[in-house]
């Protein structure tokens, strides 16, 4: 049987049909009032999703590019930073910081565990030279969401830098209320937009650090971005990804129409249902079974099953693209993405397909047990009633 294609990865993620169609609109020139109008609206709406009054810059880059730009704009060679590493992306920021000549204090946790903010505070107290602290909101490689409210409190005397690439729009993040100086995000996850844009928000304190920062910077120079944005009409210093920005404009409007708090609540349900489905089919969750984990659900592949084969089979036989494990977890876990344009039936279908694939691979599974458990989450809430 020919199945529909369903993208259930934690990025890139599926996009609404209207957002897809907007990508086919004629290209408009980026130094015109027409583009300026779109770009201004996008910027204002991004602030409503980041929950900030800070400047936000949009780059033709992925999240990693915007993160690289943040380091260049904030620090000088030899500056000390603390980085929480509890997964693939925390690990990336350790490597990147070192690549730029920063002195890194690395707080390492086992994959799947959350950062301990008391330890963060202790590490900062032990080294008053540390200028900035970095943590991932939703560690996409494991599904674990760190407590950023607590992190921001523990790091209130230094620059607080948060990677919200898969978290923004799926997990609670109150940039200004919690005092997060720099938030990095990308278009291709909960913002329901194709890959291609990277974002960064910059607090007053981050601007002050920027004035002193001596790492070389050019493409990602925040001063250049702010100068271009203050032009009439507002612009970017270099050619922006015009079509993706037009798509983002629609996606942000959809998010705000649904209401950010409702969007976050929907993600709580999606996460709960995915975890219930995984447990219902008799598998073990990877990482904490907590409502905070709204963006990605990771589970252990059962003993005797090849994880890569499972992911491949779910796709080839059922048309559903879930993700495998990254780095040391390759083949050992699989991940169901649910940050962005997802509903109850995406989760139910995915759980159903995993049950079928496990059965085909010879794993004892009682069909429908995971599905039923996922359904019950939605039925309790009334979403699928």
Q: Give the interface with ligand PLP as residue ranges (CB under 6 A).
A: 11, 62-64, 89, 136, 138, 140, 163, 165-166, 186
SS3 306: coil
- For residues 167 and 280, which CB has a smaller minimum distance to ligand PLP in the complex? 167
Rg (CA), the chain: 21
At closest approach, how far in Å is the CB of 122 from ligand PLP? 25
- For residues 106 and 317, which CB has a smaller minimum distance to ligand PLP in the complex? 106
- For residues 164 and 281, which CB has a smaller minimum distance to ligand PLP in the complex? 164
At closest approach, how far in Å is the CB of 241 from ligand PLP? 13
At closest approach, how far in Å is the CB of 296 from ligand PLP? 8
- For residues 199 and 378, which CB has a smaller minimum distance to ligand PLP in the complex? 199
335 is in an annotated binding site: yes
> CA-CA distance, 73 to 352, in Å (whole number)?
47
Instruction: Specify whether the CB–CB gap between 248 and 169 falls below 8 A.
Output: no
> CA-CA distance, 229 to 35, in Å (whole number)?
12
At closest approach, how far in Å is the CB of 383 from ligand PLP? 26
> CA-CA distance, 385 to 366, in Å (whole number)?
25
CA-to-CA dists, residue 116 to 9, 87, 344, angstroms: 28, 14, 32
At closest approach, how far in Å is the CB of 295 from ligand PLP? 8
Instruction: Specify whether the CB–CB gap between 191 and 15 falls below 8 A.
Output: no
SS3 80: strand
Of 271, 297, 272, the residue nearest 286 (C-alpha): 297
Of 302, 285, 317, 306, the residue nearest 364 (C-alpha): 302
> CA-CA distance, 143 to 288, in Å (whole number)?
9
- For residues 51 and 84, which CB has a smaller minimum distance to ligand PLP in the complex? 84
At closest approach, how far in Å is the CB of 279 from ligand PLP? 24
Supply the DSSP symbol for 114. Answer: P
- For residues 111 and 378, which CB has a smaller minimum distance to ligand PLP in the complex? 111
Q: Tokens 């990771």 identify what position?
A: 298
Residues tagged in the binding site annotation = 335
Residues tagged in the binding site annotation for substrate = 335
């Amino acid at each position: 049987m020919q199945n529909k294609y369903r993208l259930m990865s934690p990025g890139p993620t599926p996009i609404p049909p209207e957002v897809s169609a907007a990508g086919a609109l004629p290209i408009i020139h980026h130094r015109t009032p027409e583009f300026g109008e779109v770009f201004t609206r996008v910027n204002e709406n991004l602030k409503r999703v980041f929950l900030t009054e800070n400047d936000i810059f949009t780059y033709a880059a992925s999240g990693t590019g915007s993160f690289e730009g943040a380091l260049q704009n904030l620090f000088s060679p030899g500056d000390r930073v603390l980085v929480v590493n509890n997964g693939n992306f925390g690990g990336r920021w350790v490597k990147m910081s070192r690549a730029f000549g920063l002195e890194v204090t690395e707080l390492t946790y086992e994959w799947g565990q959350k950062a301990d903010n008391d330890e963060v505070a202790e590490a900062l107290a032990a080294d008053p030279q540390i200028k900035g602290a970095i943590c991932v909101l939703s560690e996409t490689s494991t599904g674990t969401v760190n407590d950023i409210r607590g992190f921001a409190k523990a790091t209130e005397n230094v620059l607080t830098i948060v990677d919200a690439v898969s978290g923004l729009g799926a997990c609670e993040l109150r940039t200004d209320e919690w005092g997060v100086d720099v938030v990095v995000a990308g278009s291709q996850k909960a913002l329901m937009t194709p890959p291609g844009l990277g974002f960064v928000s910059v607090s007053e304190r981050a601007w002050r650090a920027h004035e002193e920062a001596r790492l070389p910077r050019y493409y990602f120079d925040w001063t250049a971005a702010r100068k271009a944005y203050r032009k009439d009409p507002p612009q970017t210093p270099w050619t922006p990804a015009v079509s993706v920005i037009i798509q983002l404009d629609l996606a942000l409007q959809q998010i705000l129409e649904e209401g950010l708090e409702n969007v976050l609540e929907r993600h709580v349900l999606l996460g709960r249902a995915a975890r219930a489905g995984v447990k219902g089919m008799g598998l073990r969750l990877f990482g904490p079974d907590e409502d905070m984990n709204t963006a990605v659900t990771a589970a252990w592949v059962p003993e005797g099953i090849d994880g890569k084969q499972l992911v491949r089979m779910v796709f080839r036989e059922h048309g559903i693209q879930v993700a495998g494990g990254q780095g040391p977890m390759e083949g050992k876990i699989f991940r169901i993405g649910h940050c962005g344009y997802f509903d109850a039936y995406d989760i139910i279908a995915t759980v159903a397909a995993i049950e079928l694939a496990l059965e085909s691979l010879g794993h004892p599974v009682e069909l429908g047990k995971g599905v039923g458990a996922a359904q019950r989450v939605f039925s309790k809430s009334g979403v699928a009633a």
